Amino acid sequence: MRIALLAAAAASFTFAYPVQAADLAATAAALRDKALTDTTAWDVTESLTTEVGARPQGSPGMDRARDWGVAKLKSLGFENVHVETFETGSWLRGAESAEVVSPYPQKLQILGLGRSTPTSAGGLEAEIVLFKTLDEMLALPPGSLKGKIAVVTQRTRRTQDIKGYAAGVRARSSGGPEAAKRGAVAYLVRSVSTDDTRLPHTGGGGASGIPMAALSTPDADLLERMVARGKPVRVKLAMASTQRDKAPAYNVVGEIRGRERPEEVIVIGGHLDSWDAGTGAVDDAAGIAITTAAAKLIADLPQRPRRTIRVVMWGAEEQGGSGQAYADAHASEVANIIVAGESDLGAGEIFNAKLPQGSLDHPAMKAFVAAVAPLGAIISSQPAQDGGADVAGLKRLGVPVTEFQQDASRYFDLHHSADDTLDKVDPRELAQNVAVWAVFAYTVADSDIDFRKTATAGK
């Protein structure tokens, strides 16, 4: 009798899991279809860009964004909505201008880079030394640019992923300090962008102690043509800014609590802050909206998932600090954070999905793969390596990450510029993102998958 009971129990167990897997797959498919017609992500993007607009770290706009985030999460039914306050640096722009004073006087379009030092009240005028690549400037010895304005006009290649940007961003992030080491009194860099408008693109520069600014791409070309004529080119800069090493910053958090294992958490989100030139629609209101809408769709299911889904609106990605602050604040629960990921590449369609190491054969991820197949997302055989800047701190503590690669073909036309506005967001592409994120978050939250174990088993 005992043997018969054990056999019956074993048969019941082996039958139950396939039924659960089938239910998981069916619900995932239904979520996908619902996401494609749901307008929550668009409504959230529209709300943030219209009601708050630009929101640099340390600005009144960021304070408004904090309050907006709390109100929005509460209105959508999230639980445990709260603000986690920390301190990080804040650089805020003042009045800026640039012009060629000789030999061919013309105005230039610039945007100061984060951490730029202001000029004196009367401005700064000097001859430029132009380099077509950062490496050309790096080949010079210390002191070789004394009294000059260094200009790097390195181009950014348009690619579907971020490789073109990644190859060019060093000119922006480290060019200023390197120019200062060589004695330059200021640094100008071609915008790390793929557009051809006269709208410059800002971004973080390295602390250098000199004024630093991004040129619009046509103005970078203009300086190249002037220099090619063989006459010394002099430029005048007038730049104002304020820098605080410590300013209040905020991560805004809300949860969809799990029904069985609420202490186990899936962390997803985007960054709430933005640069000041546009309204931060693609960078990163879209990411906030995508992940918030995905969690909201899951919350609206007849039954909550087993695990908790936590949405984080990180408050200082552009100038740095929010991801590490979040990791420090949650270090004690790292063992219970199942996976983390950030949406921060606009609203272009997800064309590639990288999952945590060794997880492709798990029934939950099989359900995910099957559900997103109609969306055109290719499942990579390579594991996720980069879940986003704001989950890098969690990753260093051992939290598995996921990486959904969006089509960035147009993203760097807009990124960090005055053109980063709501009209550039395609509602259909935005919805495709929501569908992928919703299916992933649900299949993880309503299953027993342990990415740490799948990674170990795969080695």
Q: Catalytic amino acids? A: 317
Alpha-carbon gap, residue 160 to 150, rounded angstroms: 31
Give the whole-angstrom CA distance, residue 77 versus residue 392.
28
Q: How far apart are CA 231 and CA 126, in angstroms?
A: 14
Read off φ and ψ for residue 138, nearest 5 degrees.
Answer: -65, -20
CA separation, residue 207 to residues 107, 117, 143, 328, 390 (Å): 26, 8, 18, 24, 21
Taken as a whole, the chain contains a residue count of 459
Q: Report CA torsion sign: 214, 217, 218, 222.
A: positive
**Dihedral sign of CA atoms 416, 250, 384, 372 in order:** negative
Q: How many CB atoms lie within 10 A of CB 14?
A: 9
CA atoms within 13 A on the CB side of 287: 30
- The interaxial angle of helices 286-299 and 60-75, nearest 10 deg, is 20
**Residues contacting 102, CB < 8 A, separation 6+:** 232, 233, 234
Whether the CA torsion 366, 367, 372, 373 is positive or negative: it is: positive
Which residue from 156, 158, 223 is spatially nearest to 188, judged by alpha carbons? 223
